[in-house]
Structure 1
Amino acid sequence: MMSARRIPLLLIGAFAALYLIWGSTYLAIRIGVESWPPLMLAGVRFLIAGVLFYAWLRWRGVPSPSAREWRAAGLIGTLLLVGGNGGVSVAEHLGVASGVAALAVATMPLFALLFGLFWGQRARLLEWAGILLGLLGIVLLNLGSNLQASPLGAALLVFAAASWAFGSVWSRYLPLPAGPMASAAQMLVAGAVLLVLSPLTGERLTQMPSLAGWAVLAYLVVFGSIVAFSAYLYLLKTVRPAAATSYAYVNPVVAVLLGIFFAGERIVAAEWLAMLVIVGGVVLIGLPQWRRGQ
């Protein structure tokens, strides 16, 4: 009985972490890139989080990953955190509003379903309906002023969504380290890759970050990386990819509201309508999952 009760509570907690914490990270990144170069911010964030998480796990007696597991973790970490998070950070640095960035990343579940077909996964009718509804929302989103003002930012967000989706699906078939060690290994590798890419792309830290920049870094390390990313990897191993990636539909609500109230971002009518349509898609995507009782 205890076990049966713990599993639903753990699932609820994991989904809440993704929906609420990751929704807030879009605003945090926007504040952060005002003080940090975008790839450098992401690299420092994940390297610190990875070192802390790895050290804590080793102290608790968790074995270090094998060479095979390190390679798998490096591949997935690069797709999720370098391509995914790095792309979002650069797009926001280019001026895309944090709420609109979250809305654009909502294309990710569409890519996840398409990539899943390569591994023989079959999408249910309701999942396809939810994805199509989300795609309609993306079309509406592109009618707004934010993405039209930054075509490169829009392209980076689509790339970030595709990279994250491919890594999410592929992770189910690679020999990743067990449990939270997978998070630590992926963040360590991705942090190192991002910090190599930062100077190669011409990034330089011309002055020390502001107090807000340091505070944002701390928030992203602890909550955005260690807490939420671990919850995401847990869900990838527990539920279908379409459900695990459904946070991309809920994050925009949190991100848009935070951007309006705390950053003065302006969302036009087409973007509000896009948000309503996109959020509606998560209901359709989640129904098959919850009907199975998982």
Structure 2
Amino acid sequence: MLPKPAPRLLLLAAFAAVYLLWGSTYLAIKYAIATMPPFLMAGSRFVLAGGILALAGRASAEYETPTLAQWKTSFVVGALLLVGGNGLIVLAERTLPSSLAALLVASEPFWVVLLGWWWLGQARPSGRVVLGLLLGFGGVYLLVGEQLATGAAGRSQLLGVGLVLLGAFSWAAGSIYGLRAPRPQSPVLASGMQMLCGGALLLVLGTATGEWRGLEPSRFGTAAWLGWGYLVVFGSLVAFTAYSWLLQHAPPARVATYAYVNPVVAVLLGWAMLHEALTAQMLVGAAAIVGSVVLITTQQKKEG
């Protein structure tokens, strides 16, 4: 199905939200989980934002009662995007710098290409795309190479790297699945339903892992609450809704370009706000990943 035409100004605003706001959420997550339990933090964020969006969608003129099939889509997409995609990244940021997590998430277009070929029957990856994939995985190796040190710290960071890469795969799978699955016409309602399902699953996961034990919200601190609030308003209500809307109004390859803008924003914020280190090897790895995503997405645009 071809994307629906949309006003240029609205497209620019939606891309700006996905580019800039999502890039800043890695820093907000770092502040929030400094004192908040990761799954409960993420789950409460999405349940609140999802409830607001669902009510807004219910009040819109294009509202139609969601079908069982649409709720099934919301459950699957919510699980893949918000539990697998976001939840694993939140968990990983307990040991990884926010900038490194964002750079690793840039591997998502690799999985989009491979899943689109295997799952949707799209064209076999061209030589240019294969080169982009190899360059990207080389960049990932350079990024994590300095984490291959022995000792508990190195092993915990390697675990974090694995969680982020798995989360990127899960996000790509959820995005691909949602392209053809039944969903409401309203992107606001669709986003709300996905957040309610994914947020509820995250709260269940937080409960199962014992995050409620000894929980004292009064000890979270101002910075954590501000980070959580930023994630609710700008990460969920604004940017996630913009992303869902863009998937219906712009080519998926073009939407995927956020993957090489977000890391730049996250790296600059992590360096400026948290004094996160950037080595020459990490910069080379980051450049390789960004270059690979450019190769992949520009090829997809030509084919589209």
TM-score, normalized by the shorter chain, greater than 0.5: yes
Measure how far apart 1:23 and its partner are.
0.6
Report SS of the residue matched to 2:136.
helix
Q: Give the aligned CA root-mean-square deviation in angstroms.
A: 2.2
The one-character-per-residue Cα deviations of 1:94-136 (angstroms, maximum 9, x if unpaired) are: x100000001111111111111112111245544443333222
The one-character-per-residue Cα deviations of 1:216-238 (angstroms, maximum 9, x if unpaired) are: 11111111012111121123233
> Paired residue for 1:284, among 272, 295, 301?
295
The one-character-per-residue Cα deviations of 1:198-249 (angstroms, maximum 9, x if unpaired) are: 0101213244221121111111111101211112112323344343223222
Deviates more, 1:247-256 or 1:116-125: 116-125
What are the residue-to-residue correspondences of 1:49-198 with 2, within 5 Å?
A: 49-61=49-61, 62-93=63-94, 95-117=95-117, 118-122=119-123, 123=125, 125-145=127-147, 148-149=154-155, 150-180=157-187, 181-198=189-206
Structure 1: gaps of 5 or more residues: none
TM-score normalized with structure 2 length: 0.88
Structure 2: gaps of 5 or more residues: none
1:249 and 2:296 matched: no
User: Which amino acid is the alignment partner of residue 162 of structure 2?
Assistant: A
> Paired residue for 1:217, among 188, 205, 228?
228
Aligned match of 1:227: 238
Report SS of the residue matched to 1:142.
helix
Aligned match of 2:211: 203
Measure how far apart 1:161 and its partner are.
0.7
Aligned match of 1:27: 27
Deviates more, 1:144-153 or 1:75-84: 144-153
Aligned match of 1:261: 272
Cα contact 2:46–2:198 (8 A) shared by 1? yes
Measure how far apart 1:145 and its partner are.
3.5
Report SS of the residue matched to 2:107.
helix
Report SS of the residue matched to 2:21.
helix
Deviates more, 1:261-270 or 1:83-92: 261-270
Measure how far apart 1:172 and its partner are.
0.9
Distance 1:8 1:291 in 2: 21
Report SS of the residue matched to 1:145.
coil
Instruction: Report the CA distance shift for 1:57/1:106 in structure 2 as closer, same or farther (over 3 A).
Output: same
User: Which amino acid is the alignment partner of residue 276 of structure 2?
Assistant: E
Distance 1:101 1:51 in 2: 28
Aligned length: 289
Distance 2:31 2:250 in 1: 33
Measure how far apart 1:266 and its partner are.
1.1
Distance 1:28 1:86 in 2: 14
Cα contact 1:79–1:164 (8 A) shared by 2? yes
Report SS of the residue matched to 1:96.
coil
Instruction: Report the CA distance shift for 1:15/1:128 in structure 2 as closer, same or farther (over 3 A).
Output: farther
Report SS of the residue matched to 2:261.
helix
